[in-house]
């Protein structure tokens, strides 16, 4: 091993610093382990976040193009995915929304049925996660909240209206105080200013990102966080400490990394973990990393189910734009309320604050359902019939003040598959998607279009579909799940009920990729609770001298 951070052998290496990785880092460090966290993205101080989504370099993540922000966009044949990047993972740009599942179907999902009483087993870990993430109910209701309440009344479900439980410090706006969550042991915080820019990156020290809680305490417990390190290989070691594809990881792991997006100087570094590796790079990142290991022969024992049962949370993302400058939907938090049109469907209003104009380019005139052939034709027809409307929704001036997104998610059973393909001219693999043969992922949700149209009518506005739905019949999701799912055995899953990878020792996956089903609500709290449970099981196994074999 060479240079700087990689001249030390660690007990545990955690790949990723999002909701799963941050929990793993803290709980392992609390046990006295020497922990290294490797994060692909950069580290941000609050003031370093972009003021606007037009600051492409600091908002979007495309490192080979010099963009090193917090938002990664990935377009596939069957889904358009938004994921997070940076120390703190998805918490930097997520909508602060922390719900428990509303639908019992999640706990009873066939994929993990019979392995545990999941509702009762996760309950105490939900409590811990809510405490650590600083959950509070947002209020008072604002403009979009009253619109959502009215939508609920029109649909006959006003009783399901609720203000959102958020991970935001709702103290006196702009006033900095001593840590309000952990008895003064955490960082000083400032009250939320209701600027709506939560998903651009909070510059005001109000958002409870993982940097303010789990990672804060992990570093104080001795964990080391190294940003801008992309993991390329996971290699199990044999009894001599040498990488061996026939080894299982019983004797430790070698983790190889490089600087993300580098064209020439890749600045490769190698690290070693004596006790184990936790893969927590998010559903897309973890699945991609493990698919690469299997394709390159590094981890040949990985389950054939790797990449299967990838979920989009059955989402559709739409928008509503009001006419003129008479409306301002930005003075709130990112998501402040919701309703349930039916027990399986969740509808939320979403704002980007005043600086979210570039996001408006991802929406366009609304089109109904159809196929890859008919939806683009419908879109063309809309453009020809309504050129002025098209200009209004495309014009970026004050777009994010006079517009809000409509996020619709469902807990129905559906999925896609991620498949690896070796590149011929470049290193590594490329990913493509396939629809699940038995339960294909929907490309159109009628209730989503109906909700957006009703909301638009209330403000005399224009309802919009996502651009990828209109042009390609491809839905958008901000909550990719699955790909390394929990299950009973190697023939049906990638990890067991303790998040241990089948076929290997001391290798765990602890993030949204292990989710067994669509959760139907924003999944961050559930990912955190599942990670807390996984780390409790690691601690118990270590105390029994059976270190996650």
Pairing, β 269-279 against β 9-15: parallel
Using alpha carbons only, what angle is made at residue 14 by residues 168 and 230, rounded to the nearest 5 degrees? 95
Cα-trace Rg, the chain: 23
Task: Report how far apart, in Å, the C-alpha atoms of 511 and of each of 17, 360, 467, 546 are.
Answer: 10, 30, 29, 23
Displacement of CA 6 from its chain's centroid (Å): 28
Query: What pLDDT does 263 receive?
Result: 80
Position 549 scores a pLDDT of: 52
Q: What is the pLDDT of residue 1?
A: 36
Tens of pLDDT along the chain (549 residues) come to: 333 454 579 999 999 999 999 999 999 999 999 999 999 999 999 999 999 999 999 999 999 999 999 999 999 999 999 999 999 999 999 999 999 998 899 999 999 999 999 999 999 999 999 999 999 999 999 999 999 999 999 999 999 999 999 999 999 999 999 999 999 999 999 999 999 999 999 999 999 999 999 999 999 999 999 999 999 999 999 999 999 999 999 999 999 999 998 887 888 999 999 999 999 999 999 999 999 999 999 999 999 999 999 999 999 999 999 997 789 999 999 999 999 999 999 999 999 999 999 999 999 999 999 999 999 999 999 999 999 999 988 888 889 999 999 999 999 999 999 999 887 766 778 999 999 999 999 999 999 999 999 999 999 999 999 999 999 999 999 999 999 999 999 999 999 999 999 999 999 999 999 999 999 999 999 999 999 999 999 999 887 766 555
Q: Copy the structure tokens of residue 493.
A: 């899953």
Residue reference for tokens 């209206």:
161
pLDDT of the residue at 547: 55
Q: Among the residues of 71-212, which ranges form H helices?
A: 118-133, 143-154
pLDDT at position 261: 87
Return the number of other C-beta atoms located less than 10 Å from residue 363's C-beta: 26
d(CA 153, CA 13): 50
**Is the previous residue joined to 10 through a cis bond, with omega within 30 degrees of 0?**
no
Q: Provide the edge-to-edge strand list for the sheet that holds 462-466.
A: 162-163, 337-342, 345-350, 403-410, 316-321, 462-466, 363-365
Active site residue ranges: 479
Side-chain-side CA neighbours of residue 437 (13 Å):
0
pLDDT score at 26: 99
User: CA torsion angle for 190, 196, 202, 205 (degrees, to 10)?
Assistant: 0
260: its two tokens: 């993300």
Residue 423 pLDDT: 77
What residues pair up with 166 in beta bridges, in sequence order? 97, 136
């Amino acid at each position: 091993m060479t240079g700087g951070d990689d001249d030390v052998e660690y007990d545990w290496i955690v790949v990723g610093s999002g909701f799963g990785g941050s929990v793993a880092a803290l709980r392992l460090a609390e046990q006295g382990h020497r922990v290294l966290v490797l994060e692909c993205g950069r580290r941000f101080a609050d003031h370093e976040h972009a003021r606007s989504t037009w600051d492409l370099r600091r908002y979007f993540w495309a490192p080979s193009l010099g963009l090193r922000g917090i938002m990664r966009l990935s377009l596939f044949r069957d889904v358009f995915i938004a994921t997070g990047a940076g120390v703190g993972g998805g918490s930097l740009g997520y909508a602060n929304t922390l719900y428990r599942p509303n639908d019992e179907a999640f706990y009873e999902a066939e994929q993990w049925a019979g392995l545990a009483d999941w509702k009762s087993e996760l309950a105490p870990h939900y409590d811990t996660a809510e405490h650590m993430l600083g959950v509070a109910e947002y209020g008072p209701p604002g403009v979009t909240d009253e619109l959502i309440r009215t939508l609920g009344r029109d649909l006959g479900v006003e009783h399901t209206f609720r203000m959102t439980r958020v991970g935001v410090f709702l103290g006196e706006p702009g006033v900095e105080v001593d840590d309000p969550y952990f008895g003064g042991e955490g960082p000083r915080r400032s009250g939320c200013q209701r600027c709506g820019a939560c998903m651009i990156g909070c510059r005001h020290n109000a958002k409870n990102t993982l940097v303010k809680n789990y990672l804060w305490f992990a570093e104080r417990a001795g964990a080391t966080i190294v940003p801008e390190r992309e993991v390329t290989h996971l290699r199990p070691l044999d009894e001599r400490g040498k990488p061996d594809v026939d080894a299982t990881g019983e004797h430790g792991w070698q983790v190889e990394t490089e600087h993300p997006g580098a064209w020439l100087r890749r600045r490769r570094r190698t690290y070693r973990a004596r006790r184990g590796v936790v893969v927590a790079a998010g559903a897309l990142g973890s699945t991609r990393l493990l698919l690469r290991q299997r394709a390159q022969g590094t981890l040949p024992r990985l389950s054939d189910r790797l990449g299967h049962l990838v979920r989009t949370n059955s989402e559709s993302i739409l928008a509503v734009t009001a006419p003129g400058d008479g409306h301002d939907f930005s003075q709130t938090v990112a998501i402040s309320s919701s309703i349930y049109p039916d027990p399986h469907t969740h509808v939320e209003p979403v704002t980007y604050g005043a600086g979210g104009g570039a996001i408006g380019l991802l929406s366009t005139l609304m089109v109904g359902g159809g196929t890859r052939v008919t939806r683009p034709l419908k879109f063309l027809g809309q453009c020809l019939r309504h050129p002025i409307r098209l200009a209004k929704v495309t014009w970026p001036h004050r777009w994010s003040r006079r517009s809000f997104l409509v996020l619709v998610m469902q807990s129905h059973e559906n999925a896609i598959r991620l498949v690896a393909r070796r590149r011929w001219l470049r290193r590594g693999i490329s990913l493509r998607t396939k629809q699940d043969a038995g339960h294909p992922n929907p490309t159109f949700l009628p209730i989503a279009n109906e909700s957006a149209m009703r909301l638009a009518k209330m403000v005399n506005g224009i309802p919009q579909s996502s651009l990828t739905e209109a042009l390609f019949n491809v839905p958008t999701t901000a909550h990719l799940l699955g790909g390394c799912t929990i299950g009973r055995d190697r023939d049906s899953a990638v990890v067991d009920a303790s998040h241990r990878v089948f076929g290997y020792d001391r290798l765990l996956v602890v993030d949204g990729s292990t989710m067994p089903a669509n959760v139907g609500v924003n999944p961050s709290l559930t990912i955190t609770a599942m990670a807390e449970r996984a780390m409790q099981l690691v601690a118990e196994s270590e105390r029994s001298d059976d270190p996650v074999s």
